[in-house]
Amino acid sequence: MKVGFAGLGAMGSAMAKNILQAGHTVMVWNRSPQAADDLVALGATRAADPTELAYVDVLISMLADDHATWSVIVESGLLNQMAPHAVHVNMATISVALAQQLDALHQARHVGYIAAPVLGRTEVAAAGQLNILAAGDAATLAKVQPLLDIMGQKTWYFGDTPAQANVVKIAANFTLASAIETMAEGAALVRNHGVGAQDFLSMLSGTLFNCPAYKNYGGMIAEERFSPAGFKLTLGLKDVSLALEASQQSRTPLPFAGVLRDNFIDAIAQGDGDLDWAGVATVSARRAGLK
């Protein structure tokens, strides 16, 4: 299968590498060309311009946000040059509004469109163990499922409208950000009563919340280990803002999302935007007089 891949950040590079090593022909593009060097050394073809990706069987994009996705897929002319019945798999976390707009544009061009954002950090992507949240036409999804199976351990299907996958990803990240915030506040509380954050968070992740998210992020908060970032604070703010945007669009109150947004802004205002988003815990610690 001839695959095009746009967006070679840490996640995208790992995903594209797995597809390439599975034996597919892969053409890659990134705004910063040097990001493609390692993949080209492994046998990928470098596209000089995003429109060169138009002549593939499946285009996969893993771009940073709404602006980057619109710029690369639409404004560049890439979508307009794609052959009818090719498939675009958009794996980025984007707004519900943009997801709906992209769906309409792809339908007008008779290009298949699947939304497939992912759960998992860079090391999970490298291992091909992502959880993939997919939505779109079931027959179209079946065409690209072999590629998704290379990148992920499981594909979760949420309906035939692509935006359904995007709202699930937004809700999942909102829920995860909420968990990080509650761990941070709980840790600040016990520290101010003489209990170590490590003791508290180890207990929490070994009993009431015995799951990877609490174990991983609890450890980061306890050790104040926020660099290097697997997922930056600035991206956390973006995703919480997407949740608020989706809530307004559907008239679904998300009162805690407003608290999270303000705390992320607070951390970024203190110069912590490049820290991992677990670094929002510094806000609770500072307000509690622990910093």
**Residues 131, 247: one domain?**
no
**Residues 85, 123: one domain?**
yes
**Residues 153, 188: one domain?**
no
Q: Give the Cα separation of 127 and 165 in Å (integer).
A: 22
Paired strand residues for 133: 156
Does this model's pTM top 0.75? yes
For the domain that residue 258 is a member of, what is the CATH number? 1.10.1040.10
* CB-facing half-sphere around the CA of 152: CA atoms within 13 A: 21
Of the residues 109, 127, 160, which one is the last residue of a structural domain?
160
- Render each residue's pLDDT in the chain as its tens digit; 291 residues: 999 999 999 999 999 999 999 999 999 999 999 999 999 999 999 999 999 999 999 999 999 999 999 999 999 999 999 999 999 999 999 999 999 999 999 999 999 999 999 999 999 999 999 999 999 999 999 999 999 999 999 999 999 999 999 999 999 999 999 999 999 999 999 999 999 999 999 999 999 999 999 999 999 999 999 999 999 999 999 999 999 999 999 999 999 999 999 999 999 999 999 999 999 999 999 999 998
Nearest residue to 248 via CA among 236, 258, 233: 258
Paired strand residues for 88: 59, 113
**Residues 59, 131: one domain?**
yes
Of the residues 140, 160, 180, which one is the last residue of a structural domain?
160
Name, in order, each residue with C-beta under 8 angstroms of 173's C-beta and a sequence gap of 6 or more.
Answer: 93, 236, 239, 240, 243
**Residues 141, 21: one domain?**
yes
**Residues 181, 106: one domain?**
no
**Residues 217, 233: one domain?**
yes
On the 0-12 / 13-18 / 19+ scale of CB atoms within 10 A, 202 is middle
**Residues 126, 171: one domain?**
no
Paired strand residues for 266: none
Looking at residue 286, its amino acid is R
**Residues 146, 185: one domain?**
no
Per-residue pLDDT at 291: 86
**Residues 283, 181: one domain?**
yes
For the domain that residue 102 is a member of, what is the CATH number? 3.40.50.720
Q: How many domains does the chain have?
A: 2
Hey, which residues are catalytic here? Answer: 169
157 three-state secondary structure: strand
**Residues 145, 25: one domain?**
yes
**Residues 263, 280: one domain?**
yes
Containing domain of residue 222, as a range? 167-287
Of the residues 101, 130, 160, which one is the last residue of a structural domain?
160
